[in-house]
Structure 1
Amino acid sequence: MSTFMSAFADLVEQLADLLRPLFHDSAAAAAIILFTALVRLLVHPLSRAAARGQRARAELQPRIAELRKKHGKDRETLQKAVLELHAQEKVSPLSGCLPSLLQMPAFFLLYHLFSSSTIGGDANALLGHRLLAAPLGGRWADALGDGGLIGAPGLVYLGLFAVVAAVATFNYRRTRRTMAAAAPAAGDEQLPGLASVNRFMPFLSFFTLFTVAVVPLAAALYVVTSTTWSAVERAVLYRDMPGAAPAAAVLT
Structure 2
Amino acid sequence: MDLSAFPPIAALLDGAHALLMGVAALLEPLVGAGSAAAAVVLVTLLVRAALIPVGVSQAKAERTRARLAPRIADLRRRHANDPERLQRELLGLYSAEGTSPMAGCLPLLIQAPIVGAIYALFILPTIAGHPNALLEQQLAGVPLGSSLAGSIASGSLEPGALVVFAIVIGSIALVGELTRRAFRRQPVAGAASEPTDPAAPAAVLGSAGMLRAIGVLQFLTAVIAVFVPLAAALYLLVTVAWTLGQRLVLRRAYPPIAPPLPA
Q: Verify: 1:51 aligned to 2:62, yes or no.
A: no
Whichever structure has more helix as a proportion of its residues is 1
Question: In the aligned structure 1, how far is the partner of 2:90 from the partner of 2:178?
Answer: 31
Is the Cα–Cα contact under 8 Å of residues 194 and 204 in structure 2 kept in the other structure?
no
How is 1:48-197 mapped onto 2 (pairs within 5 angstroms)?
A: 48-60=56-68, 63=71, 67=74, 71=77, 80=86, 83-84=90-91, 85-86=93-94, 88-92=96-100, 95-144=103-152, 145-147=155-157, 151-177=159-185, 184=194, 189=203, 197=210
Question: In the aligned structure 1, how far is the partner of 2:194 from the partner of 2:95?
Answer: 22
Structure 1 gap ranges (5+)? 245-252
Q: Secondary structure at the match of 1:176?
A: coil
Deviation at 1:44, TM superposition (A): 0.6
Q: 2:244 aligns to what?
A: 231
Deviation at 1:175, TM superposition (A): 2.9
**Corresponding residue pairs, total:** 238
Offset from partner CA, 1:184-241 (integer Å, 9 cap, x none): 48756279x8886455233221111122112222222222111111100010111252
State the superposition RMSD in angstroms.
3.7
Q: 1:7 aligns to what?
A: 15
Is the Cα–Cα contact under 8 Å of residues 33 and 221 in structure 1 kept in the other structure?
yes
Q: Which letter does structure 2 place at the counterpart of 1:235?
A: L
TM-score norm. by structure 1 comes to 0.75
Is the Cα–Cα contact under 8 Å of residues 29 and 130 in structure 1 kept in the other structure?
yes
Q: Secondary structure at the match of 1:238?
A: helix
Is the Cα–Cα contact under 8 Å of residues 185 and 211 in structure 2 kept in the other structure?
no
Q: 2:255 aligns to what?
A: 241
Q: Identity of aligned pairs, percent? A: 35
Q: Verify: 1:211 aligned to 2:221, yes or no.
A: no
Question: In the aligned structure 1, how far is the partner of 2:57 from the partner of 2:192?
Answer: 20
TM-score norm. by structure 2 comes to 0.72
Question: In the aligned structure 2, how far is the partner of 1:241 from the partner of 1:182?
Answer: 17
Q: Which letter does structure 2 place at the counterpart of 1:36?
A: T
Larger radius of gyration: 2
Question: In the aligned structure 2, how far is the partner of 1:237 from the partner of 1:157?
Answer: 31
Question: In the aligned structure 2, how far is the partner of 1:171 from the partner of 1:76?
Answer: 41
Question: In the aligned structure 1, how far is the partner of 2:213 from the partner of 2:90?
Answer: 22
Offset from partner CA, 1:151-173 (integer Å, 9 cap, x none): 11121111112221121112212
Q: Secondary structure at the match of 2:185?
A: helix
Question: In the aligned structure 2, how far is the partner of 1:3 from the partner of 1:179?
Answer: 51
Cα pair distance change 1:22/1:177, threshold 3 Å = farther
Deviation at 1:54, TM superposition (A): 2.7
Question: In the aligned structure 2, how far is the partner of 1:166 from the partner of 1:77?
Answer: 48
Deviation at 1:117, TM superposition (A): 4.1
Q: 1:202 aligns to what?
A: 215
Q: 2:4 aligns to what?
A: none
Is the Cα–Cα contact under 8 Å of residues 118 and 124 in structure 1 kept in the other structure?
yes
Question: In the aligned structure 2, how far is the partner of 1:182 from the partner of 1:34?
Answer: 44
Cα pair distance change 1:54/1:109, threshold 3 Å = closer
Deviation at 1:124, TM superposition (A): 3.3
Of 12, 16, 19, 2:24 maps to: 16
